[in-house]
A = this chain, B = another copy of it.
Protein backbone atom coordinates (compact mmCIF):
# COMPACT_ATOMS: atom_id res chain seq x y z
CA UNK A 1 0.00 0.00 0.00
CA UNK A 2 1.55 3.37 -1.00
CA UNK A 3 1.85 5.97 1.78
CA UNK A 4 -1.15 8.27 2.07
CA UNK A 5 -0.18 11.62 0.52
CA UNK A 6 -1.15 14.71 2.44
CA UNK A 7 -2.70 16.87 -0.23
CA UNK A 8 -3.46 19.94 1.84
CA UNK A 9 -1.39 22.44 -0.15
CA UNK A 10 -2.31 25.07 2.40
CA UNK A 11 -0.04 23.34 4.91
CA UNK A 12 3.49 24.79 4.70
CA UNK A 13 5.03 21.61 6.17
CA UNK A 14 3.67 19.23 3.54
CA UNK A 15 4.18 21.84 0.80
CA UNK A 16 7.85 22.20 1.71
CA UNK A 17 8.32 18.41 1.97
CA UNK A 18 6.76 18.05 -1.47
CA UNK A 19 8.89 20.82 -3.03
CA UNK A 20 12.15 19.62 -1.45
CA UNK A 21 11.56 16.02 -2.52
CA UNK A 22 11.68 17.19 -6.15
CA UNK A 23 15.37 18.09 -5.73
CA UNK A 24 17.96 15.66 -7.11
CA UNK A 25 18.97 12.97 -4.61
CA UNK A 26 16.29 14.02 -2.10
CA UNK A 27 13.58 11.45 -1.35
CA UNK A 28 10.45 12.05 0.71
CA UNK A 29 12.12 10.91 3.96
CA UNK A 30 15.11 13.25 3.47
CA UNK A 31 12.73 16.09 2.60
CA UNK A 32 10.84 15.46 5.87
CA UNK A 33 14.10 15.34 7.80
CA UNK A 34 15.20 18.62 6.23
CA UNK A 35 11.84 20.28 6.92
CA UNK A 36 11.78 19.30 10.60
CA UNK A 37 15.42 20.33 10.92
CA UNK A 38 14.47 23.77 9.61
CA UNK A 39 11.57 23.89 12.10
CA UNK A 40 13.96 23.18 14.98
CA UNK A 41 16.30 26.02 13.97
CA UNK A 42 16.03 29.68 14.81
CA UNK A 43 13.25 31.25 12.68
CA UNK A 44 15.90 33.47 11.08
CA UNK A 45 17.28 30.43 9.24
CA UNK A 46 14.02 29.72 7.37
CA UNK A 47 13.77 33.44 6.60
CA UNK A 48 17.36 33.51 5.25
CA UNK A 49 16.66 30.45 3.07
CA UNK A 50 13.45 32.02 1.74
CA UNK A 51 15.30 35.27 1.01
CA UNK A 52 18.17 33.52 -0.81
CA UNK A 53 15.63 31.59 -2.92
CA UNK A 54 13.67 34.74 -3.74
CA UNK A 55 16.85 36.51 -4.82
CA UNK A 56 17.99 33.42 -6.74
CA UNK A 57 14.77 33.39 -8.74
CA UNK A 58 14.72 37.15 -9.22
CA UNK A 59 18.33 38.33 -9.57
CA UNK A 60 20.36 35.50 -11.07
CA UNK A 61 21.07 35.73 -14.81
CA UNK A 62 23.82 34.78 -17.26
CA UNK A 63 26.80 37.17 -17.29
CA UNK A 64 26.85 38.87 -20.70
CA UNK A 65 30.66 38.40 -20.84
CA UNK A 66 31.48 34.88 -19.60
CA UNK A 67 27.93 33.41 -19.39
CA UNK A 68 28.46 32.31 -15.79
CA UNK A 69 25.33 32.63 -13.61
CA UNK A 70 25.51 35.79 -11.53
CA UNK A 71 23.44 38.39 -9.70
CA UNK A 72 25.54 41.18 -11.23
CA UNK A 73 26.30 41.90 -14.85
CA UNK A 74 29.19 41.67 -15.71
CA UNK A 75 29.89 39.13 -12.94
CA UNK A 76 32.40 39.61 -10.12
CA UNK A 77 34.97 37.40 -11.89
CA UNK A 78 34.80 39.40 -15.14
CA UNK A 79 35.08 42.70 -13.23
CA UNK A 80 38.03 41.57 -11.09
CA UNK A 81 41.04 43.65 -12.27
CA UNK A 82 43.49 41.38 -10.44
CA UNK A 83 42.75 38.41 -12.67
CA UNK A 84 45.05 37.59 -15.58
CA UNK A 85 43.37 38.76 -18.83
CA UNK A 86 45.79 36.71 -20.96
CA UNK A 87 44.30 33.32 -19.97
CA UNK A 88 40.76 32.12 -20.64
CA UNK A 89 39.44 28.87 -19.18
CA UNK A 90 36.53 27.29 -21.09
CA UNK A 91 34.14 25.18 -18.96
CA UNK A 92 30.85 23.45 -19.72
CA UNK A 93 28.73 24.68 -16.78
CA UNK A 94 28.70 27.19 -13.91
CA UNK A 95 29.22 24.20 -11.55
CA UNK A 96 32.44 23.32 -13.38
CA UNK A 97 33.56 26.95 -13.14
CA UNK A 98 32.91 26.81 -9.39
CA UNK A 99 34.98 23.62 -9.10
CA UNK A 100 37.95 25.13 -11.01
CA UNK A 101 37.70 28.31 -8.94
CA UNK A 102 37.57 26.33 -5.67
CA UNK A 103 40.83 24.45 -6.43
CA UNK A 104 42.65 27.77 -6.03
CA UNK A 105 45.12 27.14 -8.89
CA UNK A 106 43.61 29.45 -11.50
CA UNK A 107 43.62 33.25 -11.66
CA UNK A 108 42.58 33.95 -15.26
CA UNK A 109 39.16 34.54 -16.82
CA UNK A 110 36.41 32.06 -17.73
CA UNK A 111 33.96 31.25 -20.49
CA UNK A 112 30.93 29.03 -19.82
CA UNK A 113 29.73 27.04 -22.86
CA UNK A 114 26.41 26.07 -21.31
CA UNK A 115 26.89 22.37 -22.11
CA UNK A 116 28.85 20.09 -24.45
CA UNK A 117 28.36 19.14 -28.09
CA UNK A 118 26.03 16.14 -28.20
CA UNK A 119 24.62 15.08 -31.59
CA UNK A 120 22.49 12.43 -29.82
CA UNK A 121 20.75 15.06 -27.72
CA UNK A 122 20.60 17.49 -30.63
CA UNK A 123 23.14 19.95 -29.19
CA UNK A 124 25.21 21.46 -31.98
CA UNK A 125 27.71 24.39 -31.89
CA UNK A 126 24.86 26.92 -32.23
CA UNK A 127 23.29 25.52 -29.02
CA UNK A 128 26.39 26.52 -27.00
CA UNK A 129 28.01 29.89 -26.25
CA UNK A 130 30.67 29.35 -28.93
CA UNK A 131 29.98 32.38 -31.15
CA UNK A 132 30.19 34.70 -28.08
CA UNK A 133 33.53 33.01 -27.26
CA UNK A 134 34.92 33.87 -30.70
CA UNK A 135 33.64 37.45 -30.37
CA UNK A 136 35.33 37.73 -26.95
CA UNK A 137 38.63 36.38 -28.28
CA UNK A 138 38.64 38.96 -31.07
CA UNK A 139 38.20 41.68 -28.42
CA UNK A 140 40.48 40.39 -25.63
CA UNK A 141 44.26 39.95 -25.65
CA UNK A 142 44.13 36.24 -24.80
CA UNK A 143 47.40 34.28 -25.12
CA UNK A 144 46.11 30.91 -23.92
CA UNK A 145 42.74 29.20 -23.95
CA UNK A 146 42.51 26.29 -21.47
CA UNK A 147 39.83 23.75 -22.34
CA UNK A 148 38.60 22.36 -18.99
CA UNK A 149 35.96 19.96 -20.30
CA UNK A 150 35.34 16.57 -18.77
CA UNK A 151 37.01 13.50 -20.28
CA UNK A 152 33.86 11.91 -21.76
CA UNK A 153 32.79 11.31 -25.37
CA UNK A 154 31.00 14.68 -25.43
CA UNK A 155 33.85 16.48 -23.63
CA UNK A 156 36.47 15.01 -25.97
CA UNK A 157 34.63 15.89 -29.14
CA UNK A 158 33.83 19.41 -27.88
CA UNK A 159 37.51 19.91 -27.01
CA UNK A 160 38.54 18.63 -30.44
CA UNK A 161 36.03 20.91 -32.17
CA UNK A 162 37.13 23.96 -30.15
CA UNK A 163 40.84 23.24 -30.66
CA UNK A 164 40.38 23.32 -34.44
CA UNK A 165 38.14 26.39 -34.30
CA UNK A 166 40.27 28.45 -31.90
CA UNK A 167 43.82 27.56 -32.98
CA UNK A 168 43.87 30.22 -35.75
CA UNK A 169 42.63 32.85 -33.26
CA UNK A 170 44.88 32.35 -30.23
CA UNK A 171 48.57 31.51 -29.69
CA UNK A 172 47.99 28.49 -27.45
CA UNK A 173 45.03 26.14 -26.90
CA UNK A 174 45.59 23.66 -24.03
CA UNK A 175 43.55 20.99 -22.25
CA UNK A 176 43.57 20.01 -18.59
CA UNK A 177 45.37 16.74 -17.84
CA UNK A 178 43.56 13.44 -17.60
CA UNK A 179 45.09 10.62 -15.53
CA UNK A 180 45.01 8.81 -12.20
CA UNK A 181 43.23 10.96 -9.58
CA UNK A 182 45.19 11.91 -6.45
CA UNK A 183 45.08 9.04 -3.96
CA UNK A 184 43.81 6.68 -6.67
CA UNK A 185 45.27 3.21 -7.25
CA UNK A 186 46.80 2.18 -10.59
CA UNK A 187 45.45 -1.30 -9.90
CA UNK A 188 41.85 -0.08 -9.99
CA UNK A 189 42.18 2.55 -12.73
CA UNK A 190 40.33 1.77 -15.95
CA UNK A 191 42.42 1.11 -19.05
CA UNK A 192 41.59 4.36 -20.82
CA UNK A 193 42.52 6.47 -17.79
CA UNK A 194 45.81 4.61 -17.38
CA UNK A 195 46.55 4.97 -21.10
CA UNK A 196 45.86 8.69 -20.76
CA UNK A 197 48.13 8.96 -17.75
CA UNK A 198 50.93 7.31 -19.74
CA UNK A 199 50.44 9.45 -22.85
CA UNK A 200 50.37 12.57 -20.68
CA UNK A 201 53.58 11.69 -18.77
CA UNK A 202 55.97 14.54 -18.01
CA UNK A 203 59.50 14.98 -16.61
CA UNK A 204 59.67 13.99 -12.93
Contact = CB atoms under 8 A, between A and B. Distances in A.
Interface of A: 1, 3-4, 6, 8, 10-13, 15-16, 19-20, 22-26, 30, 32-39, 43, 45-60, 69-71, 76, 93-95, 98, 101-104
Given A76-B8, A102-B3, A56 B13 contact: yes
A11, A37, A59, most chain B CB atoms within 10 A: A11
B16 A53 contact: yes
Given A19-B49, A20-B49, 20 more contacts: A1-B104, A3-B102, A3-B103, A12-B59, A13-B70, A16-B53, A16-B56, A19-B45, A25-B33, A25-B34, A35-B56, A36-B93, A38-B56, A45-B57, A46-B53, A46-B54, A47-B53, A47-B54, A50-B50, A50-B51
B48 A60 contact: no
A51 B11 CA distance: 11
Nearest to A28: B102
Contacts of A35: 56
A34 B39 contact: no
A189 B175 CA distance: 54
Contacts of A4: 101-102, 104
Contacts of A36: 69, 93-95
Given A13-B69, A49-B19, A57 B37 contact: no
A53 B25 contact: no
Given A49-B16, A54-B46, A102-B3, A34 B26 contact: yes
A25 B23 CA distance: 14
A63 to B, nearest CB: 12
A80 B128 CA distance: 55
A49, A52, A54, A59, most chain B CB atoms within 10 A: A52
Given A4-B102, A98-B32, A12 B55 contact: yes
Contact of A71 (B13, B48, B50, B95): B13
A59 to B, nearest CB: 6
